[in-house]
Structure 1
Amino acid sequence: MDIRVFKTFIAVAENRHFGRAAETLYITQAAVSARIKQLEEFYNTALFIREKNNLRLTPAGEALLSHAHLMVSQMAQSKLSLSIAAMQKNTFSVAATPNVWDAFFSSRIQDMLALFDDLVVGAELSVREAIQRKLEDRSLDVGLLTDPIKDSDFCNELIGHFDLSLVGSRAEFDAKVEDYVLVDWGITFQKEHALHHKVTPNFKTSAAMIALEVLQTKGGFAYLPYPLVQALIENGELFEIETPLQIKRPIYLVYRKNNPQEQLITEFKALFSKLQ
């Protein structure tokens, strides 16, 4: 049913006169009569009692009036909402695990903002499981992980690496140390770590910055991104420890296949190739 029919019904009900309603709506009186007739045929009932010099609503008309006001109001609100939405920028959302954020992504935030300066960009820290869940329900466009998501519905693209170093507040390290900080660098790292190290951690974290703060305040050892600790090693605040563990970690850009943001994802991937 055309919303103009309900607007006409409201105008007639308020003016109690077809002619005055027509003037209010800037249409002919014949058009007003036709619309009211259309409404009465639709509901199969009379909406007005037509008496000489007296036009009033029937009980059915009284019942319809509040609904008519509601429908007109909701239509106006929907037009306003769509108008506001049309003026808003498109969005692009990225999530990274804390380790990827500290080691790789935090230094590239400004480049991403410059690339997508015409978009509303969302960036968040989250655990791997939550990132996968959000990618699955499409509330997230891209995830940055150290291990791929092995699922045929996902695309995993290697976009870079970062180097880890075993560092400590002193130069001697062995399995007997009691102040080792275990940083979560992903599933592959955990397997390799268990193979090469029998040390028992006294502190665990998924964030490199937290581990570094522990080392600087209480002392200890941890695997940390080399760029993060390079200056501290060079000035003697931390010591680099020789280790058999693989220290180059991959970064995977992960997203759902058939993502409607495919063009933006392509631009996002190209950004990292420029920054290598």
Structure 2
Amino acid sequence: MYNLDISLLRTFLEVNKTRHFGKTAENLYLTQSAVSARIKQLEDILGVPLFRRYRNNIQLTPQGERLIHHAEQILNAWTQAVQEVSLPESSSQLVLGAPQSLWEAKLSILPIRLFEAISDIHTRTESLDGKTILRRLQERTIDFGFVFDHSKVDELITEPLTTIDLRLYSSFPDKQFADVIEHQYVMVDWGQSFSALHAKHLPHIRSPKLHASDWLMAVDYLNQIGGYAFLPTSLVDCNEYPLFAVNDAPSMQRDVYLCYHLSSERLENFEIILNTIRDALN
């Protein structure tokens, strides 16, 4: 029976993120020797090396690569357990996952609508990529996921929820679609199917100047550096910075899907939650 301290896994993941013991120590408010000791303790427990240490270079071993997913899963489950146990007796917690660009473009109102519908609900939102959302739904560590691409996972229910209209905008006035060049283009993450459609219309954009996980980052970049990006029409019009539509560019529409596990129907207030989500986004 292993006696595993959760902090060892947290330290392991932070070292993997920073690839630097000193930076990990700063981020976790530890000494560098404490970080080294935790990694050594975890390696001793598992009986395998997790990192190869070179001068100014730390790399995961194959065993370390395999541990990442399990460590993330354990920490997510532990965090959720702590939060749920700490809730008042009459309360419940709902965990929602979506890409960052989708939270900002469409979902920011959702926690408010859920609280209005169920006053004692506790909600946690997480910004995740589409693949992670589907995996976390299967692991039951999130309750509802919002994705741009239709899921074909058997144990998940997927339903179309809403759409986002996208248009090509520029920081420069009076531009044409033919003016778009690679070193001035910002690629926002609007899902895999958007990437395929994008490749059809802009085949010459193979290495964008910036890949942005959310559209607000793209807007900031366009207004400070200049360039082009596909952005939500409903939100750009309200933006305080001047952006100009490229009128002859093709418009695109992204479907947004709601996903949840088959067993989610056993959740407390399931029907109220589901109807609130549908009403808020339709």
Question: Aligning the two structures, in what range does the TM-score lie when normalised by the shorter sequence?
Answer: 0.5 to 0.7
How many residues of Structure 1 are paired with residues of Structure 2 in the alignment?
192
Per the alignment, in what secondary structure is the counterpart of residue 111 of structure 1?
A: helix
Where do 1:25-40 residues align within 5 Å? none
Aligned to 1:48: none
What is the CA–CA distance in structure 1 between the aligned matches of 2:101 and 2:148, rounded to whole Å?
Answer: 8
SS of alignment partner, residue 258 of structure 1: helix
Whole-Å Cα distance in 2 between the matches of residues 220 and 153 of structure 1? Answer: 42
1:214 corresponds to 2:216: no
1:124 to 117, 123, 126: 126
1:1-276 alignment runs, 5 A limit: 87=89, 89-170=91-172, 171-172=174-175, 173=177, 174-176=179-181, 178-197=183-202, 198-199=204-205, 200-232=207-239, 237-242=242-247, 245-262=250-267, 264-275=269-280, 276=282
- Which structure has the larger Rg over C-alpha atoms? 1
Q: CA offset at residue 242 of structure 1?
A: 2.9
Cα deviations by residue, 1:123-182 (Å, 9 ceiling, x for unpaired)? 111112221221111111000111122111110011111111110101324243521100
> Deviation at 1:98?
1.1
Deviation at 1:217, TM superposition (A): 1.2
Query: Cα RMSD over matched residues?
Result: 2.4
Instruction: Calculate the TM-score normalised by the size of structure 2.
Output: 0.62
Q: Distance between the aligned counterparts of 2:165 and 2:86, measured in 1?
A: 46
Question: Where in structure 2 are there 5+ consecutive unaligned residues?
Answer: 1-84
C-alpha distance in 2, partners of 1:112/1:184? Answer: 26
Give 1:218 deviation, angstroms.
1.1
Distance 2:250 2:272 in 1: 34
| Counterpart in the other structure of 1:39 | none
Distance in 2 between the 1:248 and 1:267 partners? 29
| Unaligned 5+ runs, structure 1 | 1-82
What do residues 201-221 of structure 1 show as CA deviations (whole Å, max 9, x unaligned)? Answer: 111011111111101111111
Mapped to 2, the partners of 1:246 and 1:102 lie a distance apart of 20
Tell me if structure 2 keeps the 8 A contact 1:183–1:211: yes
Normalising by the residue count of structure 1, what TM-score does the alignment of the two structures yield? Answer: 0.63
Q: Is the 8 A contact 2:180 2:228 kept in 1?
A: no
Deviations 1:219-253 (A, max 9, x none): 11101111221134xx8811101355452211111
- Is the 1:97–1:145 Cα contact (8 Å) retained in structure 2? yes
